[in-house]
Structure 1
C-alpha cells in the first residue's frame, strides 16, 4: 500500500465521524422540551373524626387480697373449692381451735371470779356507807371499802378485755375471705403448721368483675394529650377506652379512663394511665398484655391527607406538595398527628381549601408548573375514622 493510500483511510474515517457527530447534535437540538406534569389533587376540607391514642397496657386486678393466718396452729381443713367465687366473710380455712377454745374458757372463768369479787365489794361499800351516815364507822374504813370496790371493777374490765381477746383469737381460727372474688390455688394442705404473720400466703382472691388496664406513656406525650383534652368543651366528659387482645381480636366491652398518675417514674420517665374495663366473662386475666385505645372526648374536624401524598426528607421531616392559583407547586413542611385509615391527620402546615398533590409524587419538585387533571374531596371512606 502506498503512503498516499495509507493516509486517505484515517482521513475518511475522521470525516465520517465528524458527520455523524454533527447529525447527533442536530438531533438533540431538535428534541422538543418536556411539557408540564399532569397531577390529581385533593381539596382539603375538615373531616369529622373522633381520634384515638393507642398505648400498650397490662391487665391488673381491680381488687386482690392475699390470705394469711392471724394465729398459729395446725390447719384442720380447707373449706372452699379452688377457682370458685367466694364472698367476703366466707370461711376458707379452719385452724384447730382446741387451744384457743381453752383460752376462752379460762378467760370466762376469770371474768366470773372478778364479777363475784366486784359484787361482794359493792355490797361492802354500800353497807359501810350506811354506817358512816349513822356515824357507826369511820371515814377511813369506808374509803378502804370504796377503794376495794373500784379495784374490783377495774379487775372486771381487765378480765372482760382478756375474754374479748381470747374470743378474737378463737375467731381467727376460721380464716375468712377479706373480699369477694375468685379464690385461687391453695398453697397449703391439711396438717400444715401455720404461724401468725407468716410471709407466705395461703391463697389469693382476685375480684374479676372489673379489671384495671395500666398504660405507660412518656411525660412529654402525656403533656400533649392533656393540652388537647383541655381544649374540649366538656371538662368532665368520660373518656372511653377500648382494648385489643394479644391475638389481635377486639374485646367487646369498653371502659373508661380512671386517672393518671401524678409522678414521673425516675427509671423510665413515664407516667401511668389507668382505665377500668368490665370483665363479666373473666376473659381478661391479671398480667395479660393488651393494646388500649383512648378516644378523645368528642368528635372534631381535622385535615387528613393520604399517606402516599407525604414525602420525607433525608432527616425524615414530612412535607406535601400543594398547587397554588398559578398551577405552580409548593413544598410545605407539615406536622403529622394520628394515623387514620390510609391517611395522616395534619396538625400543622396546611389550611382548609388548599390543593394537595396526590399522584405523580416521584416527579414533583418545588415551583414547577403542573396540569391538574382532577380534584377530589377528602370524604372518601379510606380517610374516615370510626366514631
Structure 2
C-alpha cells in the first residue's frame, strides 16, 4: 500500500527538479546598439552660387563707309589686332581730291573778292564825307563787302566738307581690337552708311560676362542678407569654362540690371574679366561663381544625418545627455558639397547620428562613437 502511494510522487520528481532549474536561470541583458555621431559646430561660410552667362566684347565697332566709292585697297589681315586710327580700307579718292582742290580754289577767289569790296567800301566812306558819292552808293558798297565776307565763310565750310570727304576715303579703325572677316574685297562698290558692315572690330581684353539670375534667387538673397550674422559677399567672381575648367583670372561684378526680363523672369548681372591670353571669345557659354553672402556662424552637417519623413519634412536623430535617441524636425537651406546647411532645428554641441540611423528608434538607448574627425570639417 505504501509503495503504491509513493509511485506517483517518484514519477513527478524529475519534472519538479527541471522547473526549479528553469526558475533559477539568470536572464540576459538586452545589448545596446552602437551609433556614429557628428558633433554640431559653427563656422564661417561663404555662400556661392553658380550662374550661367555669356561672354561679350567690352567694345565692338562695325566698320561702314561714310562716303560712296570703289574699294581700292584692303590694308589689314583678317583676325589681326588693329590699333585705333589704323587705315583699314582705301577708297578711290580721285573725284574727292578734285572736289577738294575746286573748293580750295573757290575759297581763294572769294577771299580776293573780299579784298576788292573792302577797299571800295573804305573809299566810299571817305567820298561820302565830301559828297563825292551818295549815301546810297556807300551803303551798297558796304553790303557788297559784307556779302563777300559771308561768301568766304561759306567757301571755307565747303572746303572743310571736301577735306572731310577726302579723309573718309581712308576708312580707319575707331577702336583698338581684334578685327574679323572682311565682307568686301578690292574693287567692290560701297555706299555711304550702308547696312552691311565691311568688318567688325571687337575689344577682347577685358571682356564682359553677362550673367542671368532669377528674380526668385534675388529675393531669397535679399532676405538672407537681412538676417543677423550675415554679410554681403565679395564682388570678385570666378569663371568656369565650357569644358569645366576654371578660368585662371578672377573678374569683378560691375552692376546689376534695374529691371526683370518679363519673358524669362531673370535679372542680368554684368562682370568684367581680364583676358590677356585671348581665351575668352564673344558668345562663349560660361558659368560664373558668385560669392553671395558670408555666414559668420553657419551650421553644416553631413547629408547622411538628415532624412525625410513620409510628408517630406527633414528630420534628424540626435543623442541626448542620457544617450537616448531624439528625433527633431530641421530646416535645411541648401546642399554644399556633401553637407547640408542647417537653418534651424540643430544647435551647437548636438550629437547628430550619421551612422546606424536605420538601427535605432526614438527613445532607444545607444552607445556613442564620435566620428566627427573622420568625416572632416565642413568646407
TM above 0.5: yes
- Asked whether 1:333 is paired with 2:330, we answer yes
CA contact (8 A) 1:38 1:370 kept: no
Q: Name the structure 1 match of 2:340.
A: 344
Within the candidate set 133, 156, 166, 1:170 is matched to 166
- Asked whether 1:108 is paired with 2:100, we answer no
Matches within 5 A, 1:72-111: 72-111=68-107
Q: Distance in 1 between matches of 2:240 and 2:317?
A: 36
Structure-1-length-normalised TM-score: 0.83
Q: Name the structure 2 match of 1:358.
A: 354
Q: Which moved more, 1:237-246 or 1:145-154?
A: 237-246
Q: Name the structure 2 match of 1:373.
A: 368
Structure-2-length-normalised TM-score: 0.85
Q: Say which SS state the counterpart of residue 358 (structure 1) adopts.
A: strand
- 1:95, CA displacement in angstroms? 0.8
- Structure 1 pair 52/129, CA: closer, same or farther in 2 (3 Å)? same
- Structure 1 pair 328/165, CA: closer, same or farther in 2 (3 Å)? same
Q: Say which SS state the counterpart of residue 325 (structure 1) adopts.
A: coil
Q: Name the structure 1 match of 2:279.
A: 283
Cα-to-partner distance string for 1:312-351 (whole Å, 9 max, x where unaligned): 34564433233333423123131322x3332122233333
| Structure 2 gaps, min length 5 | 1-26
Let me know the Cα RMSD of the aligned residues.
2.6
- Structure 1 pair 321/133, CA: closer, same or farther in 2 (3 Å)? farther
- Structure 1 pair 377/166, CA: closer, same or farther in 2 (3 Å)? same
Q: Name the structure 2 match of 1:155.
A: 151
Within the candidate set 296, 300, 305, 1:304 is matched to 300
- Asked whether 1:292 is paired with 2:300, we answer no
State the aligned residue count: 351
CA contact (8 A) 2:224 2:230 kept: no
Q: Say which SS state the counterpart of residue 108 (structure 1) adopts.
A: helix
Q: Name the structure 2 match of 1:205.
A: 201
Q: Which moved more, 1:136-145 or 1:317-326?
A: 317-326
- 1:160, CA displacement in angstroms? 1.0
- 1:262, CA displacement in angstroms? 0.7
CA contact (8 A) 1:336 1:348 kept: no
- 1:173, CA displacement in angstroms? 1.0
Q: Name the structure 1 match of 2:46.
A: 50
| Structure 1 gaps, min length 5 | 1-30
CA contact (8 A) 2:317 2:325 kept: no
- Structure 1 pair 152/379, CA: closer, same or farther in 2 (3 Å)? farther
- 1:293, CA displacement in angstroms? 0.4
- 1:38, CA displacement in angstroms? 3.1
- 1:289, CA displacement in angstroms? 0.9
Q: Distance in 2 between matches of 1:142 and 1:372?
A: 124
Q: Say which SS state the counterpart of residue 242 (structure 1) adopts.
A: strand
